[in-house]
Structure 1
Amino acid sequence: MKTKGIKTTAIVCLLTMFLLGGCSQKFQRGVKDFQSKWVGLKRKVTVYSASGEPVKIYEGRIDIEPTEYGNKIKFAHDGNMVLIFNMGVVVEELE
């Protein structure tokens, strides 16, 4: 009975090491996705005009929602929903 518990613990430890070691980037990406969705990440969003000049800069905890179209970006900033259509946008994650 005691050896069964030891074997189970060893298998769980090996499986955990494999999952965290072999798939660490996938795991970290999952953590970032969770953090982004529920808390928001510290980001800087810069919106550019067609001539390449910055029009507006948003900075803070920002949650960006993916959209089905490539010409629209949607995100929450300071409790307000921001929609940007047909503009160049650069999103930087701040640490």
Structure 2
Amino acid sequence: MKKRLLSSVLVATVLLGGCTLWDDTVTNFKSNTEGLDRKITVYSQTGEEIAYYEGENVRTEVNDGGQLIINLNGKRVQVLNANVIIEENTE
């Protein structure tokens, strides 16, 4: 009886706690395949705005060296040694 109750609690925890994990997985897949509507602001180390990008089909990835790669409207932008804020437009 205790094993059945324990396994039921474990399954419920995984299912309820996994909703956020599932949402993140779906968003990551959508981002990698079709891109998302995003606003990207790049700042220097002193906090000055260097560049601003916005688009409906924006894909981002970080390579092994920590370099951010932005694919925007068929163009590829690589960002090194900068602070970046990426906002997803949900409207």
Q: What TM-score bracket applies, with the shorter chain setting the length?
A: 0.7 to 0.9
Equivalent position of 1:9 in the other structure:
none
Give the TM-score of the pair, scaled to structure 2.
0.74
1:54 aligns with 2:53: no
Q: Match for 1:64 among 60, 65, 87? A: 60
Equivalent position of 2:75 in the other structure:
80
For residues 47 and 82 of structure 1, what CA distance do their matches in structure 2 show? 11
Detail structure 1 runs of 4+ shifted over 2 Å in the superposition. Answer: 17-22
SS where residue 45 of structure 2 aligns?
Answer: coil
User: How many residues are matched?
Assistant: 78
Q: Match for 1:28 among 3, 10, 23? A: 23
For residues 62 and 23 of structure 1, what CA distance do their matches in structure 2 show? 26
For residues 56 and 22 of structure 1, what CA distance do their matches in structure 2 show? 38
CA RMSD, 1 decimal:
1.9
Equivalent position of 1:41 in the other structure:
36
Shift of 1:85: 1.3
Task: Give per-residue Cα distances to partners, 1:11-48, cap 9 Å, x unaligned.
Answer: xxxxxx99764521111111101110111111111011
Quick one: percent identity of the two aligned structures? 33
Shift of 1:50: 2.5
**Structure 2 residue runs without a partner (length 5+):** 1-11
For residues 27 and 20 of structure 1, what CA distance do their matches in structure 2 show? 10
Shift of 1:66: 2.3
